[in-house]
Structure formats: structure tokens, C-alpha cells
Structure 1
Amino acid sequence: MVGDAATPMEAIREAIEARGPITFAEFMELALYGRGSFYATPPIGPRGDFVTSPHVHPVFGELVAAALRELRDGLGRPTPFRITEMGAGDGTLARSLLAAAADLPIAYTAIERSPGARTALSTIEGIGVRAELVPPVDVVLGNELLDNLPFRVLRGEREVRIGLRGEQLVEVLVPPEPGLLASPDADHERIAPVGAIALIDTLGRTLERGYALLIDYGGLGTTGGPLHGYRDQTIVQDLLADPGATDITAGVDFELIASYAGSLGLVAFPSVTQRDALLVLGLDRWMHGQLDGQHRSMDAGRGIEAVRTWSGRSRASLLIDPGGLGRLRWMLLATPGLAPPPWLARASARSADPVARS
């Protein structure tokens, strides 16, 4: 039985031996989320395999909190304000967000599939921890979640499946199943985001009146690049060599996801880059305030304090780097009848202004 396998490789081998070559999505499921898998314990953070925006600087959580305040206003300021973070990881975003919104009556739930992550999250005061999304909820938040959900891979007119040659995992090309929703990328392998589509299905069933803010790498009409892995803060190209030891990810085609969400009756507002979102939410003002504080520290002879301020401001600038975290996209979904928040309108206007983008 696959469920009895002690390692991802054993589970993958047993699945292939039982049914023949498996989809890339099933390979991902076993490698990332099965027993002994990559996400069995949180692999993120400065000492982990990769970092996300909340780990770069706490101001990210402060600005996300500002965005959520406007969503609460759009919902009529519900009390409690029920926020559910999916893929909460090690809880870094939860901590900074709750600290920044301590004045709000928030009921915060962290969702994680990994038992190890749930155990770690349960130590954070003021949050509930669950394995899956359940109603009621006002806002669902997902930061760098969609890109790690299992997906299928198409290459040309064939689907990539994973088989065995002796003890080695190999790719096997087969005719694709009809009806797979996939990005129309022509320059590299096409991604069929079956896990992300399943998540949108869940949101459609769960959100009675509310929003979902999904933040991730990707593009419009494209995933933005080939699939790849991460381990020890380094890109990994061979994803089959050591399943369970490497993250597996691909960018998100936000046009495809928005179209599918619309087919379920959700409203998908135009997505914006993280750079535009954070700047209109106040990062520029925060950076100028930090610079003023740095100058005051220097004038007062507090050199170490000035260096610390400079270091924090430098880290925070990475959040809007157009070649890095700044190119993440923020997509807001809503149930019918809800208006887009003011920050989204400002970010959309900024993205359309060539002067502001420069």
C-alpha cells in the first residue's frame, strides 16, 4: 500500500508498480505532501530551503494587514473578522499580520496539510489551526501557495508521466487526457494546474460572502517560466533524482485561474504586481520614514542604530524588486456584489501609468 510507504520514493515506486506511469501531479503529491515529504516539516525561512516575502521583512505583514482592513470595510466591518490563511507554513505571516492588526477583532485560522507544520503553528497565540478550509470565512489568504499545488505537465502533444526504469524514475510521454485546462505557453512545457483549480473549486463552495487574496509568481496567459525545484536556496533542475528532498514549483497563469474562477460565479478582479500593491499600500512612505530615522540616528551619533535601520530598509526594498519578489502578482477574488477595495484600484492605476512604473 502507498499509504504504508516510509519515504516518498517508496510511495512513488509502489504507485507506479500498481498502476503504471503516474501523472506529474501524483508524483508531486507524494514528493511534497506524503509521509517523509518535502513539506513534512516547514522548509521555509532563512535556514530553510527558500524564503518568502514575510521572511524578508515584517513590513510585508503590516502592508498585507492594511490591505485586509480595506477588505473588512468592504464587507461591512464584520465582528469577528474571520481570516483563513492557506499554506500558513511556519506562521511568519500570521505573526506579523496579527501584530499589525492587533486593534481588529480578528479570528485567524491557519491551514496546513503537514502535521509537522500544524504542530508548529499551534504554538502561536491567537490562531486556530486546521488541515482544510471550512466555512464560515470572510477572507482567504494564500501567499505563494498556488505554485506548489500539484500540476500536470504537457509537452507538445503529449502529457509527461513518471515511470520506472529499473530503480530510476524516468519521464514517459503519453496522449493527454481530454479537457485538461492548461496554460497556452508555447516556449516551454505547459502546466495544467489541477491543484490550483481544485483550490478554486473549494473557494467557490466555501465563500458565502467574502474575498480571497492569492499572491504568487506567474504571468498573464503564461506561467512566466519553466517548472523547477528549490533546495538550500538554490534552483534544482533534476526533479526526479531525489523526490521529497526538493521543492517543486511552477508559476501561475493568472488569466487561466481568473477565467476558471469566473466560470464558478466568483468575481476575479484584474491582478496587479506586488510592487504596485505594496507601494500604494504605503511601502514608499515607510521607506522614506526609515530613511529619515536613519539620518536622525547618524546626526545623534548612534551609528549602530543607523546601520540597523539601513539594513532593514535594504531588505524591505527586495519586496518590490521588479526582477524578484516585486514581480509576484496579487489576485483578488470575490463573491458577487462585493466591490474592489481602494488599494486595488490605486495599484491598477499605477500599473497603467508608465511614469509610475519607472
Structure 2
Amino acid sequence: MGSGWRSAMQTALYGADGFFVREREGPADHFRTSVHASPLFAGALARFAERVDAALGHPAVFDLVDVGAGRGELLTTLLAHLPADLAGRVRATAVEVAPRPAGLDPAVRWRPEPPAGTTGLLLATEWLDNVPLDVLETDGRGRLRKVLVDPATGTETLGEPADPADLFWTSRWWPGAGRIEVGWPRDRAWAAAVDSVRHGVALCVDYGHVRAGRPAFGTLTGFRGGRQVHPVPDGTCDVTAHVAMDSVAAATGIPHRMIRQREALRSLGVDGSRPPLDLARTDPAGYLRRLSTAGAAAELTDPAGLGGHWWLWHHIGTGGRDTMLG
């Protein structure tokens, strides 16, 4: 019979021995994100944090909150990229359901929920795509019904008709027949995270789509050992679906800006262009270093890959003037 995808994902990802909870391995063993691709990503976020700090007037304590922190990889690298003055004022918090990893800087707080009253920058990089959701499909009579999944095999069947909350969200954000990934749980999760910020910026970086480009057959998939696999919600693989970014953006009721990662990173100084060939003759070692950096930057800004991700941010209590990117 199976259960709805939302329930199955919750158990598979965040249950007692769920994919993101177990200690014997980390998510980075199974999939590659911008965080893992290159420290250039953390360097760009450090420059973004500097701009938030300036917009806030350089507060005595600057909160840096990473929601969905994994094993603390992003915070560790980001803190190393901050200028000394800002680093000395930072209060870093990793938000994650997994146990605190051994060896993490003791200055980094570790907690399961975002702290209330943040003044600074709240980050969520590839977090919302793992917030569990339900899937609907249109049956032969044109009715939207909930898709049920067998947790052991990933086999799907059609279950009961869609409930009112799913239909309400779908009518606004994903109308029409086909396969629909119901995004209101992501909307609610993001709104709660943004609500924890008293003064500053909340930034979400994730892969997703907007209403004009909803995928007809959905995006739900799995990752194991660095490879894309059939999404079986048994706890052995990541189960993920792209984010309805426009719905998430509207959920807070706070003005926002949303652009592609390619544009955002280029505004923050990450350039994937190759160094001039003449440099190879005058400074071969420097040429190779710059070539390596260009290759990493190219991966982060590739519009068909990581560069196609969305950056969505909201200003809270900063006067609303957006000076984060040019």
C-alpha cells in the first residue's frame, strides 16, 4: 500500500537512522553541492556577509546562521574567508538535525532549530530541496490524487484524492494536470526560518523552478555514492525535489530579490574566464593557479549546472534598500 511521499521522505531523511541523521557518513559522500565544489563559493558568501554587515552598521555581534549545515563544511570555510574585524564579531550557528560532528570549531553553536532574534545573515544552501513534500498525479478521470510509495522499493501507486491544503496550493502555484510536487511545506519551512531574523538578510540558495517553467513530470529523484538513482525512501539515499522558488519567495510576505547563481557569483567576483595565455610564458605557476581557479569558478557558474541555481533573499529591518549585489 505505501504512504504519501511526505511521510516517507520524513522517515527516510530524518528518522532515527535517516539519511541526514546517521553519523557513519555525511551527505557529501553522496552528492556534490556548491559548498563542496570549491571554496570560491564560501568566499563569495563571505563578501555577501560583509555587505550585510555594512547595511546593519557593523553591529557588535553579527549572527551567521547556516540552516541545513550538513557537517559544518560551509560555516568552517566561510569563517576562514571573513575579514578579521567581522570574524571577531561573528556568532556562528549551525542548524542541523544530525549530531554535532567531531572536530568542529567549538565556537560554532550546534542546534536543531534556527535561533530567535538573529541580527546578521541566515543562510540556507540546498536545504529546502530536502524538506519533505507530497506528490500528486492526475488519474484517468482528471482528479488529482496523492501518490503513495513503498518505502522498501520506491514503487508508486495512486491513493486517496488530494486534500484541501494541497489543492489550495496547487491551484495557485502549479495548476493543471500531470505530476505535481506540492510545495507548501517548503513555503512554511522558509517562512519560519525568515521569521527568526530580527535584523539582517535571509538568503536561500537552491535548485528550483518558477510557475512558467514547472516540470511536467516532476523532479523527485535520489542520490547515492555520487550518482543519481531511483528515489527509494529507505534511508540509504538522498531523496530530493526541486523547489518552487516563486512560491517560497511569496510565503514570507517580505519583499525579495531572486536571481540565478551565475549572476550572483559574478557580482561577487567569481569569474570563470580563462587567464591570458601570455601568463603561461611569463609565470607558469601563476598561470596554473589561475587556470585551476577559473575551472572551479566555471563549474559554480555553469548555467546548465550549479550556475542555474537560484539565489533568493529578503531584507528584514534594514530599511529595505538592497545593496547586496550590484
Normalising by structure 1, report the TM-score: 0.77
Q: Are the counterparts in 2 of residues 228 and 248 from structure 1 also a CA contact under 8 Å? A: yes
Q: 1:245: which partner in 2?
A: 236
Larger helix proportion of the pair = 1
Q: Are the counterparts in 1 of residues 147 and 156 from structure 2 also a CA contact under 8 Å? A: no
Q: Structure 2 counterpart of 1:299, which letter?
A: T
* Residue-by-residue CA offset, 1:174-208 (whole Å, 9 max, x unaligned): 10110222441658521112432331342354222
Alpha-carbon distance, 1:336 to partner: 5.5
Q: Secondary structure at the match of 1:272?
A: strand
Is 1:271 aligned with 2:258?
yes
Q: 1:261: which partner in 2?
A: 252
Q: Which consecutive residues of structure 1, in runs of 5 or more, have no partner in the other structure? A: 1-19, 347-358
Q: 1:77: which partner in 2?
A: 58
Alignment equivalent of 1:43, drawn from 26, 31, 55: 26
Distance 1:119 1:185, change over 3 A: farther
Is 1:176 aligned with 2:162?
yes
Alpha-carbon distance, 1:214 to partner: 0.3
Distance 1:301 1:207, change over 3 A: closer
Q: 1:233: which partner in 2?
A: 226
Q: Structure 2 counterpart of 1:106, which letter?
A: V
Q: Structure 1 counterpart of 2:240, which letter?
A: T
Distance 1:130 1:223 in 2: 34
Q: 2:282: which partner in 1?
A: 299
Q: Which consecutive residues of structure 2, in runs of 5 or more, have no partner in the other structure? A: 139-143
Q: Structure 1 counterpart of 2:27, which letter?
A: I
Distance 2:192 2:114 in 1: 8
Q: Are the counterparts in 2 of residues 154 and 190 from structure 1 also a CA contact under 8 Å? A: yes
* Residue-by-residue CA offset, 1:97-119 (whole Å, 9 max, x unaligned): 1111142011110111112xx22
Q: Structure 2 counterpart of 1:53, which letter?
A: S
Distance 1:230 1:296, change over 3 A: same
Q: Structure 2 counterpart of 1:96, which letter?
A: T
Q: Are the counterparts in 2 of residues 21 and 172 from structure 1 also a CA contact under 8 Å? A: no
Q: 1:15: which partner in 2?
A: none
Distance 2:151 2:266 in 1: 49
Q: 1:331: which partner in 2?
A: 312
Distance 2:246 2:34 in 1: 23
Q: Structure 2 counterpart of 1:310, which letter?
A: L
* Residue-by-residue CA offset, 1:324-347 (whole Å, 9 max, x unaligned): 000000000233663243244x3x
* Residue-by-residue CA offset, 1:4-50 (whole Å, 9 max, x unaligned): xxxxxxxxxxxxxxxx75321110010011122211245333xx111
Q: Secondary structure at the match of 1:179?
A: helix
Distance 1:307 1:337, change over 3 A: closer
Q: Structure 2 counterpart of 1:145, which letter?
A: W
- Identity percentage over the alignment? 27
Distance 1:223 1:92 in 2: 32
Distance 1:204 1:173 in 2: 34
Q: Aligned residue pairs: how many?
A: 308
Distance 1:333 1:49 in 2: 31
Distance 2:304 2:54 in 1: 33
Distance 1:254 1:168, change over 3 A: closer
Normalising by structure 2, report the TM-score: 0.84
Q: Are the counterparts in 1 of residues 137 and 158 from structure 2 also a CA contact under 8 Å? A: no
Distance 1:148 1:106 in 2: 28
Q: Are the counterparts in 1 of residues 275 and 287 from structure 2 also a CA contact under 8 Å? A: no
Superposition RMSD on alpha carbons, in Å? 2.7
Distance 1:78 1:223, change over 3 A: farther
Distance 1:33 1:223 in 2: 27
Q: 1:197: which partner in 2?
A: 187
Higher relative contact order (CA 8 A, sep 6+): 2
Structure 2 matches for 1:7-86, cutoff 5 A? 21-39=2-20, 40-41=22-23, 43-45=26-28, 48-86=29-67
